[in-house]
Amino acid sequence: MNKLLATLIAGLFATSVYAQNTTTMPANAPMGSSSADMKAQDKMDKANQKEAKEVAKADDKINKAESKASEKKSKAQAKHDKKVADANEKVAKADADDKAKASAKAEEKVAKADMKEQKADIAADEKAQKKVVAANADKAKAHAKATEKKAEAVADAHKADAK
């Protein structure tokens, strides 16, 4: 449980860093029509495209992780349901004299099945959250790189205009 909590907190921090990352130079700084400005605009466009591509990859990773976790949970649920049905069937088939004993065994099997399903759900969620955190970190890194490239392009254009 502590690992899951730590993963969720790390995800929160990665997401907040991504959301709060702002550029010091606006990406759409006034650009003239000189060749340096055109080059700068081209570099900024490429940076935006690369960032969008990285964000799309990260979103794809998130979707895959969540769907995989969902699959694992549904498989665990199916196994749980089968064990419960088997236990209930044994109780129904038991003789009148053995009903109490069979019912007690069935309750024990159901409790074990419940615990096993919960553990599988937790493990699936934990694994998915780790992948979500990593993907959000990738998004934040892509955004930071794009911001850096945009700022460099604007600075280069301003240097060229100053000459």
Give residue-wise pLDDT tens across range 83-97: 999 999 999 988 888
pLDDT of residue 57: 95
19 in a structural domain? no
Residue 138 CB contacts under 8 Å (≥ 6 apart), including other chains = 54, 57, 58, 61
pLDDT of residue 84: 95
- Looking at the structure of the chain, the number of domains it has is 1
97 in a structural domain? yes
24 in a structural domain? no
Residue 68 near residue 126, CB atoms below 8 Å:
no
pLDDT of residue 5: 56
13 in a structural domain? no
pLDDT of residue 72: 96
In whole angstroms, give the CA distance from residue 143 to residue 132: 16
Task: Tell me which residue range forms the domain holding 112.
Answer: 2-7+34-162
110 in a structural domain? yes
70 in a structural domain? yes
Give residue-wise pLDDT tens across range 56-84: 999 999 999 999 999 999 999 999 999 99
pLDDT of residue 27: 47
pLDDT of residue 1: 60
Query: Is the whole model's pTM more than 0.75, yes or no?
Result: no
15 in a structural domain? no
Q: For the domain that residue 146 is a member of, what is the CATH number? A: 1.10.287
CA 85 to mean position of chain CA atoms: 34
Residues of the chain short of pLDDT 70, as ranges, are: 1-33
104 in a structural domain? yes
pLDDT of residue 34: 75
pLDDT of residue 138: 95
